[in-house]
Structure 1
Amino acid sequence: MADEKNEGAVTAPATQGAVRGTYASVPADRATDVPAPASARLAWTDGERTIDYEATAAHLEVRDDAGVLLGRMFSLSYVAVDGEGRADASRPVTFAYNGGPGSCSVPVNFGGIGPRRVATDGVSHVRADAPVEDNPHTLLVESDVVFLDALGTGWSVLAEDADPKKIFCTDGDADAFARAICAWLTENGRWSSPLYLFGESYGTVRNAVLMRLLAERGVQLTGVVMLSAVFNIAGLLNPGDDLYYLGMMPTFAATAQFFGKAGAGVGEDEWFERALAFAEDELAPALLRGDRLDEARERAVAERMATFVGLPAEHILARHLRVDLLDFRTHLLAAEGRVCGRLDTRFSSDAPSPMQGYDTWIAGEDAADDAVEGPWVRAFRRFCADELGFHGPARYLSNNYEKVNAGWDWSHEEPGLGRVATPNVSLDVAVALRRNPTLKLAILGGRYDAATTWWNVVHDMSCQFLSPALKSRVSWHLYGCGHMSYVDEPTLEAMGRDLHAFYEKR
């Protein structure tokens, strides 16, 4: 990253005043003050190609239908420009974000698909002074990109009198993003551009709802990218649900192989395929029988499972074939005094002190997150301040789980079902595809992702019974990585190729 300060920071675009003016009859807004927008003309290169682009840090006003301010959503936009500084309206625009709920967009930006990226070092922790480089696999090659921080995260703020309960919920969150996206398109004159969504983790839940919601509001999408997807919240996040254990098992098997506890002499792809087959053909029938499964069959399945996941058969039997993530993380490497990660199970760290036995606390400790988040946020803040001249508040909420996630209302107005307590948004995805068969969808994931396991999203989509024509609009990409696929440079390169093909697809 260049060290010199940007001399060309600019104030808000003239169009912002016009947008605010349409609400002249609305009482004065009450919201936390936000800094003025700032931008700079920069250049990206991979040594062969060069793209001039304008990077802009700004806040988008999120207003309800009556013009009442709900909040101001922070955005960091990268827009390719010509020699005279003009954008190309025929280029796609992609709106990108992370998940949580309660996470900012920095990881997917400075870790993944933005024009700048913090250099990583395999599964080792990234140093605080790690170099920041032009990202050779940035999505800017294919599309202009707008990174958005959900309200309550990053530098995004709620209006003073906005009700958090109406924002920190499945449907309220999607509504806020729909309004912010429309505000950006209006302010930047980009309604003629092909529109894409790129969501990671909970961002894929947001994507699923937005696919349907935006179309219902007359905003047609060209494509949607789901990275590390989760659709059926109950099936993935609730230990005790058979779908949870089935989804975890292949990821456990991949992890055991990575640490040399299983799968010796077998290729990674083949080993994962074998684990998927075992989960569906042997483990699933056994789990469904519960205590009706006879002891001999339960032992046989446990012994087979032990060869996959690297834990003793007796350990698995004691849990009646139901090994949860915390159990696996704390036992697989126990002999070495280590605990493996959650977001990416290839990462590991020293086990906590025996005095620190609080399960909820241990579950939140994750070497995969510790290894990268600090350097990403530091690079982002340096970029905004030194290159754009944007000076945000002293605290940047890279995550705000305490206020956003802890009180999240998961209920959802499910199309065709009414309000449900926990969503299965694969139904929203299917509805969006059926209503718009020109829409294309890419689903990307990693074998070592124990936060949003690959098997579950495959299962959820298979239960939608899409026609062959609609299935052809969905592309699947499985990588040898964890939740944040871009941490792994070979995966980032492969993902770049796959996204190029996806954006090229008609």
Structure 2
Amino acid sequence: MRKLYLLTLLLAISLVEVKAQKVEIPIDTSVTTQHSVNINGKSIDYTAETGMMPLWNDDGEPTASLFYTYYTRNGVKNNENRPLVISFNGGPGSASVWMHIAYTGPRVLKIDDEGFPVQPYGIKENPNSILDVADIVYVNPVNTGYSRPIPDAEGKVDRKKFFGVQADITYLAEWLNTFVTRKNRWLSPKYLIGESYGTTRVSGLALELQNSQWMYLNGVILVSPTEIGLDREGPVEIANRLPYFAAAAWYHKVLPSELQNKDLDELLPEVENYAINELLPVLVKGGFTDESKKEEVAEKMAYYSGIKKEVIMQNNLEVPFRYFWKDLLREKEGYTVGRLDSRYRGLDSKESGDSPDYNAELTSWLHSFTPAINYYLREELKFKTDLKYFMFGPVHPWDRSGNNTGENLRQAMAQNANLDVMIQSGYFDGATTYFNAKYSMWQLDPSGKMKDRLSFKGYRSGHMMYLRSEDLKKANDDVREFIKNSLPGADAAKY
């Protein structure tokens, strides 16, 4: 009886201990593995380092541990001439998974040529990776991927230090200083690449790294950029929608035959010209526009967008994005189209309504990305932890005040004559439209003196334009060319 009592007591104690356990946050650790990949017909041997690196406060104490994956090409004798690309995704709150295993990294998802998930899930070699010309580090900000804040002595986390436009930029610059120092990359040419909200992040980081860390860059790549703090509210924002509407309508073959028979490269400049030179002046006049002119404009908008003239008139020439996604295929097929990539179709419970039930493209992407990244990190890169991998982590509320990141990028370019910027956008992206990206490029430098250092590349896909096989190659080639053209030469950097 006594033995039974002791066994019961020991079991109870062990259960209490299990309940008291917490998942350990690795603060400073890494795992290194060796691999090879065939890029453009040439075998490249490389090292993958996956780990957690601390963010230090002014007292030398860790306040967060950031998860990263760092790829370096083997056999490079002197890395002072070897470019380093620092990669961020967006959200805010999104892990650095999308570009990591679908765009620039040495492994990509097993998806079909248009970007749709296939089963069984998995990854394969990326023959288009930029690892042949540059080393790459994929950084996960706090509460994305495995990155986590470190609670203070009282078990509390000061969220204001991490979750906001300025806080995000400030602490990531500090962390990058540690990373570049540890990896001995101060002499290397450096590039930032950010996607979606990541473009806000890297635009701000360009100036923060220069002015607070004295770290100068050679290039910034903005993939599917946000507004980066540049004003476009009102008539400009409304007019800027039309070229995207036309692109999505063209893809789904709902335009009049004379437009449908044109190539996208011929159609879009025509719509852009109309939006700037004819639609915008009418929108500026608002309710004082002559009714016959308003009717004329609505007719033309219907012609270019695939949306009925009556609907456009009912919305005072301002058709909401969500209504467009719901209505474009309502009568033709009864499907909705995706927000981030309007090539994807969704199925709602009812054909009626003014917005889709869900984002068709995002559910498709999570379908293929989530199992792939969890498998890849654990089984191929050998990084093992019980922490949950946050595809989208808890970072809200996010302080969006004081977003001057576009101006910060302009100032960084002005201060650094060696800094070039390239913008990449998908024509079928309805969240951060390609024409808004062009508008940002035009507005970034009002002086016009740096326009030869700004470039735009468009692709026949959506927000993650690299998911389409043809654009994966084209977009990586564009990045590769951008890096080669912006490498330092023998001439001094001066105006």
Equivalent residue, structure 1, for 2:199: 204
Is contact 2:23–2:386 with CA below 8 Å preserved after alignment?
Answer: no
1:269 pairs with 2:261: no
1:462 pairs with 2:412: no
1:287 pairs with 2:286: no
Equivalent residue, structure 1, for 2:160: 165
- Where 1:55 maps in the other structure, the secondary structure is strand
Equivalent residue, structure 2, for 1:383: 376
| Larger displacement relative to structure 2 (214-223 or 44-53) | 44-53
1:188 pairs with 2:209: no
Given the superposition, is the C-alpha separation of residues 283 and 66 from structure 1 closer, same or farther in structure 2, using an over 3 Å criterion? farther
Percent of aligned pairs with the same amino acid: 28
- Where 1:472 maps in the other structure, the secondary structure is helix
Equivalent residue, structure 2, for 1:367: 360
Q: Map 1:68-79 onto structure 2 (within 5 A).
A: 68-79=61-72
The CA deviation at 1:244 is 2.8
- Where 2:98 maps in the other structure, the secondary structure is helix
Given the superposition, is the C-alpha separation of residues 60 and 408 from structure 1 closer, same or farther in structure 2, using an over 3 Å criterion? same
Given the superposition, is the C-alpha separation of residues 125 and 465 from structure 1 closer, same or farther in structure 2, using an over 3 Å criterion? closer
Structure 2 runs not aligned, ≥5 long = 1-21, 487-495
TM-score by length of 1: 0.85
- Where 1:397 maps in the other structure, the secondary structure is coil
The CA deviation at 1:233 is 4.9
Equivalent residue, structure 2, for 1:96: 87
Equivalent residue, structure 2, for 1:178: 173
1:137 pairs with 2:128: yes
Measured in 2, the distance between the counterparts of 1:432 and 1:99 equals 21
- Per-residue CA distance 1:181-222 (angstroms, 9 max, x = gap): 112112212211111101001000001100111000200111
| Larger displacement relative to structure 2 (197-206 or 50-59) | 50-59
- What letter is aligned with 1:460? S
Is contact 2:344–2:360 with CA below 8 Å preserved after alignment?
Answer: yes
Measured in 1, the distance between the counterparts of 2:452 and 2:314 equals 44
Equivalent residue, structure 2, for 1:23: none
1:147 pairs with 2:138: yes
Equivalent residue, structure 2, for 1:34: 26
Measured in 2, the distance between the counterparts of 1:87 and 1:378 equals 37
Is contact 1:58–1:76 with CA below 8 Å preserved after alignment?
Answer: yes
Is contact 1:251–1:453 with CA below 8 Å preserved after alignment?
Answer: yes
Equivalent residue, structure 2, for 1:341: 338
Measured in 2, the distance between the counterparts of 1:354 and 1:258 equals 21
The CA deviation at 1:64 is 2.9
Is contact 1:119–1:131 with CA below 8 Å preserved after alignment?
Answer: yes
1:496 pairs with 2:476: yes
Measured in 1, the distance between the counterparts of 2:109 and 2:422 equals 25
Is contact 2:195–2:224 with CA below 8 Å preserved after alignment?
Answer: yes
Equivalent residue, structure 1, for 2:491: none
Given the superposition, is the C-alpha separation of residues 327 and 308 from structure 1 closer, same or farther in structure 2, using an over 3 Å criterion? same
Equivalent residue, structure 1, for 2:7: none
| Larger displacement relative to structure 2 (36-45 or 251-260) | 36-45
- Per-residue CA distance 1:356-383 (angstroms, 9 max, x = gap): x796xx47x2222222233223222212
1:258 pairs with 2:248: no
Is contact 1:125–1:370 with CA below 8 Å preserved after alignment?
Answer: no
Equivalent residue, structure 1, for 2:12: none
The CA deviation at 1:354 is 7.0
Is contact 1:250–1:279 with CA below 8 Å preserved after alignment?
Answer: yes
Given the superposition, is the C-alpha separation of residues 268 and 203 from structure 1 closer, same or farther in structure 2, using an over 3 Å criterion? same
- What letter is aligned with 1:221? L
Counterpart pick for 1:433 among 413, 424, 440: 413
Equivalent residue, structure 2, for 1:396: 389
Counterpart pick for 2:237 among 235, 244, 250: 244
- Where 1:252 maps in the other structure, the secondary structure is helix
Q: Map 1:203-222 onto structure 2 (within 5 A).
A: 203-217=198-212, 218-222=214-218
- What letter is aligned with 2:342? T
- Per-residue CA distance 1:34-83 (angstroms, 9 max, x = gap): 2742120111113721111111111121123343432111101111112x
- What letter is aligned with 2:384? H
- What letter is aligned with 1:42? H
Given the superposition, is the C-alpha separation of residues 261 and 204 from structure 1 closer, same or farther in structure 2, using an over 3 Å criterion? same
Measured in 2, the distance between the counterparts of 1:137 and 1:199 equals 18
Is contact 2:425–2:437 with CA below 8 Å preserved after alignment?
Answer: no
Is contact 2:44–2:73 with CA below 8 Å preserved after alignment?
Answer: yes
- Per-residue CA distance 1:227-278 (angstroms, 9 max, x = gap): 1112345857x7xx33332222111110001111112111111111111111
The CA deviation at 1:338 is 0.7
Is contact 1:96–1:105 with CA below 8 Å preserved after alignment?
Answer: yes
Measured in 2, the distance between the counterparts of 1:164 and 1:439 equals 33
Q: Which has the larger radius of gyration?
A: 2
Is contact 1:31–1:71 with CA below 8 Å preserved after alignment?
Answer: no
Equivalent residue, structure 2, for 1:81: 74
- Where 2:169 maps in the other structure, the secondary structure is helix
Given the superposition, is the C-alpha separation of residues 386 and 479 from structure 1 closer, same or farther in structure 2, using an over 3 Å criterion? same
- Where 2:53 maps in the other structure, the secondary structure is strand
Given the superposition, is the C-alpha separation of residues 37 and 374 from structure 1 closer, same or farther in structure 2, using an over 3 Å criterion? farther
Structure 1 runs not aligned, ≥5 long = 1-29, 413-422
Equivalent residue, structure 2, for 1:10: none
Is contact 2:69–2:139 with CA below 8 Å preserved after alignment?
Answer: yes
Measured in 2, the distance between the counterparts of 1:408 and 1:443 equals 25
Equivalent residue, structure 1, for 2:397: 407
Given the superposition, is the C-alpha separation of residues 482 and 354 from structure 1 closer, same or farther in structure 2, using an over 3 Å criterion? closer
Measured in 1, the distance between the counterparts of 2:42 and 2:454 equals 30
Given the superposition, is the C-alpha separation of residues 125 and 352 from structure 1 closer, same or farther in structure 2, using an over 3 Å criterion? farther
- Where 1:444 maps in the other structure, the secondary structure is strand
- Where 2:51 maps in the other structure, the secondary structure is strand
Given the superposition, is the C-alpha separation of residues 297 and 358 from structure 1 closer, same or farther in structure 2, using an over 3 Å criterion? closer
1:322 pairs with 2:318: yes
Equivalent residue, structure 2, for 1:482: 462
Q: CA RMSD in A?
A: 2.3
- Per-residue CA distance 1:369-406 (angstroms, 9 max, x = gap): 22223322322221221122211335211012xx32x4
- What letter is aligned with 2:434? W
Measured in 1, the distance between the counterparts of 2:313 and 2:296 equals 10
